[in-house]
């Protein structure tokens, strides 16, 4: 009986040890995860399609704010890229609950890099809006097109209003060429 248990444990250990090697041999595009970081500085303001209004419950709604980049840095694995800021486009939708000082943001952005385009979508929440103790963060999903077709990004996101305006997205990228 003990011999059967020992053989079962040894067989299970062999399968578990071999699993990473099987994955490497049969892994297709998009299965290798690498570190991803997107850092952006710039400013935001109204664009030609920006609309804003306040509800009777003192909730400010702003749609189609425009963000203009002044600096972009993207790290994939151990390589850092500096995309042209002119390739960056962004629109943001904000909902600010003035009763609780909570800001909800949906951000749609894209930028050109490595012969393709990355489209990112984020959803962020900040509490204590416009105070020194403001805390925020959210989730990020991104997809590549062109030479980056098949690239997928997932991660977390945060923003900083203390030094102008900065965005940071950190996560993993799969399918990087």
For residue 80, give the CATH number of its domain.
Answer: 2.40.160.20
User: Do residues 83 and 74 touch, judged by C-beta distance below 8 A?
Assistant: yes
Tens-place pLDDT, residues 114-165: 999 999 999 999 888 877 777 788 999 999 999 999 999 999 998 766 666 7
- Which carries the bigger pLDDT value, residue 24 or residue 97? 97
Residue 123 lies in a domain: yes
Tens-place pLDDT, residues 43-81: 889 999 999 999 999 999 999 999 899 999 999 999 999
Structure tokens at 86: 């002119």
Looking at the DSSP assignment, which residues form a beta bridge with residue 109? Answer: 90, 120
Residue 148 lies in a domain: yes
Looking at the DSSP assignment, which residues form a beta bridge with residue 43? Answer: 68
Residue 46 lies in a domain: yes
For residue 60, what are the domain limits? 29-174
Residue 84 to residues 43, 57, 81, 102, 112: CA-CA distances in angstroms? 16, 42, 10, 33, 7
DSSP state, 129? Answer: T
Residue 135 lies in a domain: yes
Number of domains the chain is built from: 1
- Which carries the bigger pLDDT value, residue 141 or residue 2? 141
pLDDT of amino acid 57: 96
Residue 144 lies in a domain: yes
Residue 104 lies in a domain: yes
Confidence of residue 108 (pLDDT cuts 50, 70, 90): very high
Residue 126 lies in a domain: yes
Tens-place pLDDT, residues 11-30: 333 333 333 333 333 334 44
């Amino acid at each position: 009986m003990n011999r059967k248990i020992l053989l079962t444990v040894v067989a299970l250990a062999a399968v578990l040890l071999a699993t990473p090697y099987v994955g490497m041999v049969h892994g297709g595009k998009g299965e290798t995860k690498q570190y991803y970081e997107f850092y952006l500085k710039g400013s935001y303001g109204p664009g030609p399609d920006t609309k804003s209004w306040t509800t009777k419950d003192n909730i400010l709604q702003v749609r189609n704010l425009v963000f203009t980049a002044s600096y972009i840095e993207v790290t994939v694995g151990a390589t850092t890229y500096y995309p042209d800021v002119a390739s960056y486009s962004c629109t943001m939708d904000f909902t600010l609950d003035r009763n609780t000082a909570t800001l909800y943001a949906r951000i749609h952005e894209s930028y050109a890099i490595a012969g393709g385009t990355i489209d990112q979508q984020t959803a962020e929440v900040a509490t204590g809006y416009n105070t020194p103790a403001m805390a925020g963060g959210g989730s990020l999903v991104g997809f590549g097109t062109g030479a980056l077709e098949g690239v997928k990004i997932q991660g977390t996101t945060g923003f900083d209003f203390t030094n102008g305006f900065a965005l940071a997205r950190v996560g993993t990228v799969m399918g990087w060429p």
